[in-house]
Chain A
Amino acid sequence: MADASVNAMTGPSGPKPKRVFSSTNIIIYGTLLVVCLYYLLPLYIMIVTSLKGMPEIRLGNIFSPPVEITTEPWVKAWSEACTGVNCDGLSRGFWNSVAILVPSVVLSIAIASVNGYALANWKFKGSEVFFTILIFGAFIPYQVMIYPIVILLRESGDGITSFIRLFNSDAPNFRLMGSVWGLVIVHTIFGMPILTLLFRNYFTSVPEELFKAARVDGAGFWGIYFQIMLPMSLPIFVVAMILQVTGIWNDFLFGVIYTKPETYPMTVQLNNIVNSVQGVKEYNVNMAATLLTGLVPLIIYFASGKLFVRGIAAGAVKG
């Protein structure tokens, strides 16, 4: 007893002192600093290059900040850069992308959320089988399905045309292939597996009793969807929106295949501007154009924070 009290007077007491500069900490933070620099470097280079004039780029160092800041490359990238014979800049691609994006996001989320809701709460015989096919289908390389879809779009476009002509024989050709609507359908189809999974998992996590209570209260399929489920699942709709906006904006393959040069989305146009073989390479304009294309997903990414992480992890980490 006496020993203990002596120890208590002299030995360690209170919080253990922390060493801020312990070797472990230096290693951890040092590594992370280097890593962060590596990941930030391309963004930095894009920005500084896009603000330099061409003479400065030819003479100088790719890392050095611009001596004389110029916004001319940005203006040029937006409204003057050439793809082939067209010289009206990226702006056309931007508006094409917007025209593709808005209906694609709305349609794909509307359909997938109802799908997920039906799978979670209104299971019917075979519904799980379709869902399993859907999820495995997400792993099929697009290249396998691209060509038959071209045919499907062309045929259903013709089908719709002849249907319309039943009522109005002068109606113009209705085209799905090569039009924005064809691409919207393609985005809806290929966004369906991940979005359906996202919504199904979310609606499954809603207590079943809530659903039962609504049925006792006399609400049906759509009543429960619109009045009960929809209002309480806004966060998951935001997650789905982030997922779709970035995914569809960044798409290149479907844009190339299913649209025509006049309706090319921004990514396709960007590639055509930068990798065009004609003329002198204007690296500053190229980087401005690249940055412009990356701006929409970047803004969404930085604004959405954790929801973005939730979106990309949604399909991967099983709930």
Chain B
Amino acid sequence: MTVTDSGDSGAGAKRPSRLFKNLAGKIAAIPMMFTAVVVFIGCTLWTIYHSFTKSRLLPAPEKWVGLDNYERLWSENRWLISIENLAIYGICSLILSLTIGFVLAALLDRKIRFENTIRTIILYPFALSFVVTGLVWQWILNPALGLQNVVRNWGWDSFTFDPINNAEIVIYGILIAGIWQGSGFVMVLLLAGMRGIDEDVWKASRVEGIPAWKTYLFIVIPMMRPVFVTALVIISAGIIKVYDLVVAQTSGGPGIASEVPAKYVIEKMFLSQNLGLGFAASTMMLLSVLVVLIPWAYLEFGGKKNG
């Protein structure tokens, strides 16, 4: 035995300080820490705080007005229309994109030929900007020269489909464009989830003579629950952000019939110089995201810790 109790005599054995341990890793993570703390948390709290102040052209942190901004917000017709539009657009787009996405995924999952080509075609709108999508559909739905005109020329003279100029249905015109752009993405998500299911499930259901549609409905869909939940959260977060599509396709018109909250916020902040109202409206947007996000996070992460 040569050395036994010469504790820290060895060379190269300086105990590194706790703070400087893994220093490079900590330095490298500075942008991430900055983004997480300063931007995501800091800026959010800043906005929430200022939504309770009488900020007009400039933020006025000293003029505390309590819930005034919120009261004004909820009494403003334009905001109410925005919320209604978001609700209609959101519910329809969730249902439609999940249904269409699932049916398409199931069809592509049937070991068909040209799968790659078909997937490429269905997904390409997703690569485009919302501005491009909005403008194309604005043109297709042009009442004088677009789809309506074509159908009338075919001999159906009374055919009317004019969402761009009809305040009652304008949000559905935007919905068509939104679905066109987004359903391919949902399909890809669900297809990936479907492919992740054990092949043996299909073998078992074939041996037991269960028809394909029943297998999808009663076995595959329940097994895909996590993927559906993920898709739901991502689509919902996207819906609340809808902005460019509306700006490009209808500019919120006719009148204010197709306003949405995201557009409302931007206009209050940068055009009509009513920051307080803009902050209040954006806080409401955040709240609606939390309504989706918190139960999801609870299911996803809260459950795991217990299990």
Contacts and interface: CB of A to CB of B under 8 A. Distances in A.
Q: Do chains A and B touch in the complex (CB under 8 A)?
A: yes
Contacts of B193: 317
A45 B149 CA distance: 14
Given A137-B35, A148-B46, A300-B127, A294 B132 contact: yes
A246 B124 CA distance: 12
Contacts of A117: 28
B25 A147 contact: no
A182 to B, nearest CB: 13
A222 B24 contact: yes
A241 interface: no
B251 interface: yes
Contact of A57 (B132, B145, B286): B145
Interface string B97-116: 00000001001101010001
Given A141-B286, A143-B266, A309-B188, A40 B28 contact: no
A32 B142 CA distance: 27
Contacts of A286: 135, 139
Interface residues of A, number: 90
Contact of B125 (A42, A119, A145, A316): A42
Given A300-B127, A316-B234, A42 B185 contact: no
A318 interface: yes
Contacts of B261: 143
A62 B130 contact: no
B285 A143 contact: yes
A252 B5 CA distance: 68
A313 B194 CA distance: 13
Interface bin, chain B: 35 or more
B67 interface: no
Nearest to B110: A28
B165 interface: no
A29 B115 CA distance: 11
A29 to B, nearest CB: 7
Nearest to B286: A144
Contact of A134 (B35, B119, B133, B241): B35
Nearest to B103: A31
Contacts of A312: 126, 185, 188
A115 interface: yes
B230 A316 contact: yes
Interface string A281-301: 001001100100110011011
A140 interface: yes
A130 B278 contact: no
B136 A246 contact: no
B244 interface: yes
Given A45-B140, A115-B32, A144-B286, A28 B112 contact: yes
B258 interface: no
Chain B contact residues: helix, strand, loop or mixed: helix
A139 B139 CA distance: 32
Chain A contact residues: helix, strand, loop or mixed: helix
B28 A114 contact: yes
A115 B47 contact: no
A270 B35 contact: no
A302 B122 contact: no
Contacts of A144: 43-44, 47-48, 282-283, 285-286
A57 B139 CA distance: 12
A293 B131 contact: yes
B214 to A, nearest CB: 14
A213 interface: no
A256 B142 CA distance: 26
B262 interface: yes
Interface in B151-209: 153, 180, 184-185, 188-189, 192-193, 196
B269 interface: yes
Contacts of A131: 32, 36
Contacts of A317: 189, 192-193, 196, 227, 230
Nearest to A126: B33
B73 interface: no
B189 A122 contact: no
Interface of B: 21-22, 24-26, 28-29, 31-33, 35-44, 46-48, 59, 104, 107-108, 110, 112, 116, 118-133, 135-140, 142, 145-147, 149-150, 153, 180, 184-185, 188-189, 192-193, 196, 226-227, 230-231, 233-234, 237, 240-241, 243-244, 247-248, 251, 261-262, 265-266, 269-270, 275, 278-279, 281-283, 285-286, 289, 293, 297
Q: What are the 5 closest A-B residue pairs judged by CB atoms, nearest first? A: A137-B40, A122-B25, A221-B24, A250-B129, A301-B127
Given A134-B40, A141-B262, A316-B192, 11 more contacts: A119-B32, A141-B240, A143-B281, A144-B44, A145-B40, A145-B44, A149-B43, A267-B131, A290-B132, A298-B124, A308-B127
18 contacts: A62-B146, A118-B29, A122-B24, A122-B25, A124-B29, A136-B293, A138-B237, A139-B293, A141-B289, A143-B266, A144-B48, A145-B39, A267-B132, A293-B129, A293-B132, A294-B132, A297-B127, A309-B119
Interface of A: 28-29, 31-32, 35-36, 38-43, 45-46, 49, 57-58, 61-63, 111, 114-115, 117-119, 122-124, 127, 130-131, 133-134, 136-149, 151-152, 188-189, 192, 196, 220-222, 246, 249-253, 256-257, 267-268, 270-271, 274-275, 283, 286-287, 290, 293-294, 297-298, 300-302, 305, 308-309, 312-313, 316-318
